[in-house]
Structure 1
């Protein structure tokens, strides 16, 4: 199963590599601490008794919640939207207008993601999208999310709340040195805070990061594996020079 959106730093190109590195031992809680587009959550066929999707971006969480709880209403809202530069600019300019319902806001945020360049929400992408097909897929997404708890909390709160011996945390934080590209601020101190919180994890965690000296030093006491992925915007060209090294860090 695929995600219904793209997102900055999304794990579409690495989801298979990540899932096959899930711990062999049993876990009854699965927590995506930095949920984003949820590529790993949707791709994995190994479901835990309790599954949590968390993200600190309230717009993203509102979209996920509305698809889970109000999918028909979101579909009806999207039915009348066209893929055009004019509509994109209108949604971008009026997104924070007071008085919109959560469903209206979710539908507009969905369209901003789908029609923006690189799903970065800043500029119109000029790419043809089959919006009706995408909207129909939301029903499948709703079924998957019906079994998932959706949270909108700081990563430290989420880790501490679900920290049990049989918990498995997957973490995909904003990559070090690229924080300015994300909607939510994440400082160097936050990277260090994350490392300290993970020291207290009673279960297992898998962490994906960009390959840099700071991260390698920060997690030198854990298992670090180097993997390669194509640049998201250049995947279709199969250009090996566009491959990037990333790190997978585990405590098992």
Structure 2
């Protein structure tokens, strides 16, 4: 599903930068789960976490009660009036069941403009076409632990020498776009708290951020690798076609180790001297 800051376009790059060996995979700022769903399940112990309780409740219902969730979504209307009603219920009251709460939140995601959860998107969309995706997500999440914790507490709980953390926090100076990330939102002190937490772990981490001097300075330390790349800026495409957005990956291990471990392809006409 679409989600603010989602890693749909970068999931292949991110997964290809994973370390070769780990036994615990912990996704600290899970969001829409694009990296988790792209990652091969394997035999490792997996954790999905997000501070947004509405989001983690949706994931739990997909994992535990997919049929009930699809039943609750079957007759929803793609209308401005229904959108305003479920938005009001979620902001002022709590629905009577976790499934109803999950169905309301899923409606907001699907029917809001750019999945921003605030304004009606006015786009045609039949909810039932998502049901096969819900069923696939249900199977993928069957053995995934779903947490709803502050990142520092989560990392402290699951950190081991065999742990690998992938983190996609709210980007620096774009925090206002993220909903339900904690009281007062994600602030500069939280970026520092995240850095301090990661610098003291036993396991490995891979961190995605916007490319800016502040974040580069924050992680300027021995044994920390920073790689830069660009992607299409989806937000600016409407008025600046082809605009690029600079991002970085930060890790406490060699991000090339997976790529370098693959056997090189031998050319039939290449000699030992490369001629």
Alignment TM-score, normalising by the size of structure 1? 0.93
Whole-angstrom distance in 2 between the partners of 1:45 and 1:220: 31
Q: 2:58: which partner in 1?
A: 63
Q: Tell me: CA distance 1:48–1:187, structure 2 relative to 1, closer, same or farther (3 Å).
A: farther
CA distances 1:13-45 after superposition (whole Å, capped 9, x unpaired): 111110111112x11100000000010000112
Cα–Cα, structure 1 residues 236 and 19, in superposed 2: closer, same or farther, change >3 Å? Answer: farther
Unaligned stretches of 5+ residues in structure 2: 254-275
Aligned match of 1:39 = 34
> Where does 1:83-98 land on structure 2 (aligned, <5 Å)?
83-95=78-90, 96-98=92-94
State the match for 1:207 in structure 2. Answer: 207
Q: Secondary structure at the match of 1:124?
A: coil
Aligned residue in 1 for 2:77: 82
Q: Secondary structure at the match of 2:156?
A: helix
Q: What's the secondary structure of 1:205's corresponding residue?
A: strand
Q: Which residue of 1 aligns with 2:151?
A: 155
Other-structure match for 1:169: 165
Structure 1 residue 237 displacement after superposition: 9.9
Give the distance between the partners of 2:167 and 2:174, measured in 1 at CA.
Answer: 16
Give the superposition deviation at 1:47: 2.9
- The aligned counterpart of 1:247 is 248
| Counterpart contact for 1:29–1:48, Cα < 8 Å | no
Structure 2 partner of 1:196 = 196
Q: Who is 1:12 aligned against?
A: 8
Distance 1:145 1:206, change over 3 A: same
Offset at residue 231 of structure 1 (A) = 2.1
Structure 1 range deviating more: 95-104 or 121-130: 95-104
Instruction: After TM superposition, give the deviation of residue 46 of structure 1 in Å.
Output: 5.2
Structure 1 residue runs of 5 or longer lacking an equivalent are none
Query: Partners in 1 of 2:95 and 2:84 — Cα distance?
Result: 19
Q: Aligned-pair distance for 1:48?
A: 4.3
Aligned to 2:116: 120
Q: How many residues align?
A: 246
- Residue aligned with 1:208, SS: strand
CA–CA distance in 2 between the matches of 1:127 and 1:234?
20
User: Matches of 1:39 and 1:237 in 2, distance apart?
Assistant: 27
Q: Is the 8 A contact 1:27 1:167 kept in 2?
A: yes
Alignment TM-score, normalising by the size of structure 2? 0.86
Please state how far the C-alpha of 1:135 moved relative to its aligned partner: 2.2
Greater radius of gyration (CA): 2
CA 1:167/1:237 → structure 2, altered by over 3 Å: closer, same or farther? Answer: farther
Cα RMSD, aligned residues only: 1.7
Q: Secondary structure at the match of 2:2?
A: coil
